[in-house]
Amino acid sequence: MRHLLNFLFALFFAVNAFATDSVKDSKKEGSLKEEIKAYVQHHLKDSHDFYLGSYKEGDKKKYIGYVGLPVILWDNGLTAFSSAKFKHGKAVVQKGSTFYKLYHGKIYKTDAAGTIVYDDAHHPTNEKPLDLSMTKSVITMLFTALLMFFLFRALARSYAQNGNIASGIGRFFEPIILYVRDDIAIPNIGKKHHGRYMSFLLTVFFFVWFLNLLGLTPLGINVTGNIAVTFGLALLTFLLTNLTANKNYWAHIFWMPGVPIPMKILLMPIELLGVIIKPFSLLIRLYANMQAGHIVLMSLIGLMFIFNNWLGSSLSFLLAFAISLIELLVAALQAYIFTMLSALYFGFAVEEHHDEAH
């Protein structure tokens, strides 16, 4: 029920943002579609601030629940200030003799007037400082990490105090933890080696799941739809797989037993390529599914304003609500798939040698 209410609030704020922001002022269908497209693209990108929605008051845009995040730049030294000083890209921030401007989510060095210089392809050519800012995605990941730490620390403490019996919210998470161990780790890795990977499997499962759920809140967070985040998670799986692999794993890649020598030479580069393709499929699967879910949901909300009538707008809202409910399932499903495939790759890495007769 709590998640259901979150979805209702998310839809409400999204509709409010469309209706009271620039969409309300559109007169032509073409401009309306362009504004909806721009809104969806803005939702998918990372940003240097948080806000729930916006509306126009005269010629000024007002933001609901706006929070500026720390901007940290390395430009011949460390520079830090609040992103609120950018005033959503309308203002230039001066630090010493250097001027900075926020333009399409990126920070550039400019002159005092905030001039952006373009190349022939209309790409900015201004110099960019090294951006180490605490963006919306970074803050969300830190929040998720802290949430997991306190939740599972409390679960561990309840085990110690109640004779290995979970209490409180731990009663909800305990069956999930046992499921990851008994139905994901042990079947794919084996009883002998599964313990070595349990901490990572549990961490990645709940980390991805919580981030997916946060992406369905009114905050408009799209962390797992960021390919840099999914790349980092897949890289960890890749490193753990190959750094903990036994000699049998490498033998089956470089010199497969029981295979004629010409075939070994032919299959070796293919197997080696598979080592890279496996984690690549992990990052693309999670990224593409979560990105597509956000695009579909926001596009359906946008259709309410394109139809602009009672029947079409109502059907679009109901369909968007139904997709939101499906996204609840997808949030858990993508966490499960990522964890399952990671466990499967770990199982390949530590599989014991079997003779030809077996």
Is residue 217's pLDDT more than 90?
no
Q: Give residue 1's pLDDT.
A: 44
Q: Which of 11, 89, 49 is nearest to 303 (CA)?
A: 11
> For the segment 310-339, what is each residue's pLDDT rounded down to a tens digit?
887 888 888 888 888 898 999 999 999 999
Copy the structure tokens of residue 49: 């601030």
Mean per-residue pLDDT, 220-229: 87
Quick one: pLDDT at residue 332? 93
The tally of CA atoms less than 13 A away on the side-chain side of residue 77 is 5
Report the alpha-carbon distance of residue 187 to residue 137 in Å, rounded: 34
Q: pLDDT averaged over the chain?
A: 83
124-153: average pLDDT: 92
Give the pLDDT band of residue 354 (cuts 50, 70, 90).
low
Structure tokens belonging to residue 64: 């609901």
Q: What is the pLDDT of residues 150-167, one digit of tens each?
A: 999 988 888 888 877 877
- Average pLDDT (245-258) is 80
CA 80/CA 85 separation, integer angstroms: 11
Long-range contacts of 15-21 (CB under 8 A, 24+ apart): 15/301, 15/304, 15/317, 16/53, 16/55, 17/53, 17/54, 17/55, 18/301, 18/302, 18/304, 18/305, 19/305, 20/53, 20/54, 20/55, 20/56, 21/53, 21/54, 21/55, 21/56, 21/61
User: What is the pLDDT averaged over residues 196-205?
Assistant: 94
Amino acid in position 50:
F
- pLDDT for residue 182: 93
Say how far apart CA 152 and CA 170 lie, in whole Å: 8
Q: To which residue do tokens 């046992």 refer?
A: 178
What does the alpha-carbon distance between residue 186 and residue 178 come to, in Å, rounded to a whole number?
11
Residue 28 pLDDT > 60 = no
DSSP string of 243-278?
A: HS--HHHHHHHHS-TTS-HHHHHHHHHHHHHHHHHH
Rounded Cα distance, 102 and 85, in Å: 10
pLDDT at 10 over 70: no
> Strand pairing partners for 68?
49
With 0-12 / 13-18 / 19 or more C-beta atoms within 10 angstroms meaning exposed / middle / buried, residue 68 is middle
Q: Assess whether pLDDT exceeds 50 at residue 27.
A: no
What CA–CA distance (Å, rounded) separates 90 from 60?
Answer: 12
Q: Order of strands, edge to edge, in the sheet holding 78-82?
A: 78-82, 70-74, 130-131
Most confident by average pLDDT, 197-211, 247-261, 300-314, 316-330: 197-211
Q: Is the pTM of this model over 0.75?
A: yes
